[in-house]
Amino acid sequence: MATSLITKTLNSIKNPKLLRPLTRQFTSIAAVQSENPSSSFTNADSNNNKRSSSNDNNIDMRKGPPNCNSKGEKDSSSVTMPISSMTGSIVGKRFYKQVTTREADDGNGWTVMLDYRTLKTPSKRPLKLPTLALAKAIAAEWDYQQTDGIRPFTMPLMKLACTALDRVPLTRPKIIEHLMRKFSQDLVFCRAPEDNVLTSGVYERQVEKFDPLIGWINSEFGFKPVVYSSLFGGKQEEGLVKAIEHHLRQTDDCQLAVIDAIASAAHSLIIAVGIVKGKLDIEEAIELIRLEEDFQVDTWGLVEGGHDIDIADLRVQISSAAVFLGLSRK
């Protein structure tokens, strides 16, 4: 069911260039990843911090029958994601039967319901999503969870939504500062030594693949980046730095969450901006990110249990961020 829901929600992405690889990748990801009606899923740090740290991964079951509103519908008790869910731990057994979506009470956005409970973020904010398509995709992630345990690491869209709702509004200046601090060391600006027999092949691939993106940055922002052979990068023109920083400040919370996630996985703010602005699709971005390592694999061979896992993990990170971006756009 989760696979079919993800496939349907992908149809709402308006950018065909971005959509092209998504259905195949996410349906394959969903295929690989492996009740108490009055309970609630709450943050383990609540109740005046009286719980021990060993319970941080547990579901806090609170009793209390659901109320009914004037329409005879069950009132929405809350389900709050524990903080440990952001780290990849298994947070408890599945305690719900049905996953649905509904319009937010104020009519501004959409929420996910676990039975009659409204899903919340780790900081207890309502998980209010900008589009129905994104709400259905996150509902599919929850519906896919098995009875023996809720696995947040199989819910990348939920993680990005919590980041956009909880972290970005409170730490936006720090996120932008962190992204800009590493801008001079961007992967796209780095060139392998041209005159070294071991790296000349990498240099040729970098020129072939990175230079068109360098040209796009020049036309998009009005400044041509400077390339370096040093791993420590170098100083970029002040105009380019200010133009990129201005672009980041103009993003909404969902876009900045996506840029931060992709930049972290790609070691490149330029690639992240390229995806958000529609210059790159998923396959193109992954090819650029893995350019040097793929050259080494072509030369020396692939290490099973190493390179293949890295590739799969990168695909999940980049694909989930791109899907989240597409589904969050109204």
Q: Tell me: pLDDT of 36 over 90.
A: no
Q: What kind and span of H or E run contains 187? A: none
Q: Tell me: pLDDT of 2 over 60.
A: no
Alpha-carbon torsion angle 58, 150, 120, 76, nearest 10: -100
Q: Tell me: pLDDT of 130 over 80.
A: yes
183-233 residue pLDDT tens: 999 999 999 888 887 788 899 999 999 999 999 999 999 999 999 987 777
The encoded tokens of residue 284 equal: 């193109």
254-268 residue pLDDT tens: 999 999 999 999 999
d(Cα 77, Cα 192) in Å, to the nearest integer? 56
d(Cα 150, Cα 163) in Å, to the nearest integer? 19
The amino acid at residue 99 is V
Question: Which domains can be identified in the chain, with CATH numbers?
Answer: 35-131+139-153 (3.30.2180.10), 164-328 (1.10.3580.10)
Q: Tell me: pLDDT of 246 over 90.
A: yes
The label of the residue with tokens 């970005």 reads 168
Q: Tell me: pLDDT of 85 over 80.
A: no
Nearest to 282 by CA among 17, 29, 11: 17
- The reported pTM is 0.78
Predicted confidence at residue 81, as pLDDT, reads 62
